[in-house]
Structure 1
Amino acid sequence: MKILFDHQAFTGVRYGGVSRYFYDLMITLRQKDIQTQLSILFSNNAYLLESGAFRVQSFSYFLGFMPTNMLFSQVNRLWSIAKLKQDDYDVFHPTFFHPYFLNHAKKPYVLTYHDAIKDKFGARFGHIDNASKELKQQLLDRAARVIAVSENTKKDLVELFRIKPEKITVVHHATAFQGLQVPDAFQVQVPDAYLLYVGARNDYKNFIPFLKALAPTFQKYPHVQLICGGGGPFSPEETQAIQQVGLTDRVSQRNIDDFVLYRFYQKALAFVYPSLYEGFGIPILEAFAAGCPVVLSRASCFPEVAQDAALYFDPESEEDIRQQLETIIGDDSLRRSLIQKGRERGRDFSLEKMASQTLQVYQQVV
């Protein structure tokens, strides 16, 4: 069987949950002797560039970030159209919601729906993608099958779109961190005690309200710091918020790759995920795999994913966030218990399982 994936999630995105999902899926399918093709010529995606599994050329942002991304996206789109017209595949799996392929794909396509953040919250987070609800409805209508990354996301799909539940298959995410072998000699410099935040910090990620809740806790525990892994440098708004709550010397942003991030999880007092809404939450599985206690919003799919292997708080209550953070910082036995529960829960998710379930979806549509 030949599966064709496209460029959309990879062109200008260096890191990110969606590109990581598709990269891990393609690699794991190859290990099962499934031919996976990726229709892309130019990419700055770290997973593609560092692995060497796919032939891509990096590019510089000579026109500025967005204009350059748009230019190379157009080039990659033309290449994807050419690959579709060659018709040398059995199933097409687009990696995002641009409809360029609708007039060119002659074989069935499968669509993965990651989260309902824009479609559920509308204008509040409306800039997350450029795909309207009407466009997504068109893509969902014409897809042979739809993959939802959690039961919560499937529920959102059925509520928000005209789609029958039986057309949707739930396939949970997984993480390569389960089998990641970090050399003992590879170490990172970290504070003696710190909480870890990972990834983007915009809007629904709830980062600035989290900072405000964190400030009194850090006054109570002056030895604890916060590391923000990835997500780019702090914006002026974030820097101002950090200053306003008096945490300038206690909060830092660090660039990450897999080895660095693994060590960050491994040495943290806890990983904290204050997001208001997510489709799945891959960092939860990363923390489980690295042996890091997890503290989560009691929201969206998080209880489905982590079950009893996490401590939960109301993401819109400063008092509840603060209370749970103080609990995790001050209770060694709770941290040890959550680490053990996290390792056990993490075994329910694997790349092999994700790839096998996805392959079953492909086989249904051929």
Structure 2
Amino acid sequence: MSFFALMNIGFDAKRAYHNNTGLGFFSRVLIRLLADQYPEHTYYLFNPRPGKSFQPHLANIREVLPKAALHRLLSAAWRSRWVTGDLTRMGIDLYHGLSHEIPAGLPQTGIPSVVTIHDLFPEIYPEQYKPIDVKIYRAKLRYACRHATKIMAISEETKGHIIRTYGTPAEKIEVVYQSCAPAFTVLENAAKKEAVREKYGLPGSFFLHVGTIIERKNLLNICKALNSIRNDIPLPLVVVGNDGGLKGKVTAYLKEVQLEDRVYFLSEQLALAGRKPFVDAEDLPALYQLATAMIYPSYFEGFGMPIIEAMAGGVPVITSTTSCLPEIAGNAAWLADPDSPEEMASGFRKIYTDATFAADMRRKGLENAQRFRPEVYAADTMKLYQSIL
């Protein structure tokens, strides 16, 4: 196939249609960017069952659902194995497994493939998962890394994990940095931000944390940092993210130190008000931009998208010294040991009290976000596709 040939590109679209967290977000952003910036190609989204999370409404995007009765009944098997027959029948030129897996038997079809590996957490931190999930994840990851034509790693950190864990040749792996949705690069006007503040009942000023409430996102230590500055800085913390099993421990700590009124669990507050317990996607950029700083001190991440979402909107960021987070943050964030609430508190104090320093962080953040521009992301992905055809 020549470099400029038109392509039929297939995607594993399960998470695009059914996942409202990181993997689904990644899938939707990439598909939309490619379809918009490279409209000459046709993008086939192989979706095991109807879903409402993704409605792109673009002429060159086509949803493909299982047609045979058995395939509809056993849609998981269709997605993981039987879909190969549909790929061949429909003349798919390249298949992209968007999250850690490709269908069994795909290499036998002769269709080249790319698999995106976001992280190897089930391999590296198996204690964080149920044993059966570890077994399934490991099998899918190993198969995909062995049999995909190319691996798209979302950070150098992840690439290194793949090489060390599976012995995969470095030349088989391309690092392609993700991008936030283009909406996050728009600096919202004061009217929009005030409308979002009122809609969600947000405080006048606040620190922000975005992420599921789980151990590795480190919300407990954020709250300890907040406790240490309670007499110096009056700002509360707004938490955007659903409970993943840690919230009880966090709320017990807040009650113990009498800090409940300084941490605002947005999903909980919306649910108590009888509203949908999540932030509408179109409101997220303004919500970020209302924050004095966004704190994201995870223990480990595959990429750390909230860092870029915040920086693209000119918001200072506090993040970790660990995992891929310094790689993504560049020189534009306050880096803190994730085990040190004191270092996080120092970041809060510096950003809140030193206007010149905070302004410099905003400037550096906007510059750093340029590395992850949507057009760069789409171009790097298309270049990877073309390299295997």
TM-score (norm 2): 0.80
Could you say which residue in structure 1 is the equivalent of 2:152?
147
What amino acid maps onto 2:104 in structure 1? L
Greater gyration radius: 2
1:182 and 1:259 in contact (8 A); partners too: no
For residues 58-97 of structure 1, the aligned pairs below 5 Å read 80=83, 83-97=86-100
Indicate whether 1:302 and 2:325 are aligned. yes
Q: Deviations over 1:204-238 (max 9, x none)?
A: 111223222321222432x2111112335984344
Indicate whether 1:281 and 2:304 are aligned. yes
Q: CA deviation at 1:117?
A: 2.5
Indicate whether 1:240 and 2:252 are aligned. yes
Question: 1:239/1:41 Cα in 2 relative to 1: closer, same or farther (>3 Å)?
Answer: same
Q: CA deviation at 1:295?
A: 0.8
Indicate whether 1:327 and 2:329 are aligned. no
Aligned-pair Cα RMSD in Å: 2.8
Cα distance in 1 for partners of 2:292, 2:168 equals 43
Could you say which residue in structure 2 is the equivalent of 1:227?
238
Q: CA deviation at 1:290?
A: 1.1
For residues 102-121 of structure 1, the aligned pairs below 5 Å read 102-104=104-106, 106=109, 107-121=111-125
For residues 118-137 of structure 1, the aligned pairs below 5 Å read 118-125=122-129, 131-137=136-142
Cα distance in 1 for partners of 2:188, 2:24 equals 22
> Unaligned stretches of 5+ in structure 2?
1-6, 65-72, 267-277
Q: CA deviation at 1:294?
A: 0.7
Could you say which residue in structure 2 is the equivalent of 1:188?
196
Indicate whether 1:38 and 2:61 are aligned. no
Question: 1:212/1:4 Cα in 2 relative to 1: closer, same or farther (>3 Å)?
Answer: same
Cα distance in 2 for partners of 1:301, 1:274 equals 11
Q: Deviations over 1:173-208 (max 9, x none)?
A: 111235547576432222122100012121211122
Could you say which residue in structure 2 is the equivalent of 1:29?
34
Q: Which has the higher contact order (CA 8 A, sep 6+)?
A: 1
Which moved further from structure 2: 243-252 or 179-188? 179-188
Question: 1:121/1:216 Cα in 2 relative to 1: closer, same or farther (>3 Å)?
Answer: same
> Unaligned stretches of 5+ in structure 1?
58-69
Indicate whether 1:292 and 2:327 are aligned. no
1:118 and 1:126 in contact (8 A); partners too: no
Cα distance in 2 for partners of 1:98, 1:151 equals 19
1:8 and 1:94 in contact (8 A); partners too: no
Q: CA deviation at 1:339?
A: 0.4
What amino acid maps onto 2:35 in structure 1? R
Any idea what SS the aligned residue of 1:224 has? coil
Q: CA deviation at 1:78?
A: 8.2
Cα distance in 1 for partners of 2:298, 2:129 equals 13
Cα distance in 2 for partners of 1:161, 1:202 equals 27
What amino acid maps onto 1:39 in structure 2? F
TM-score (norm 1): 0.85
Could you say which residue in structure 2 is the equivalent of 1:9?
15
Could you tell me the percent identity over the aligned residues? 27
Q: CA deviation at 1:22?
A: 1.9
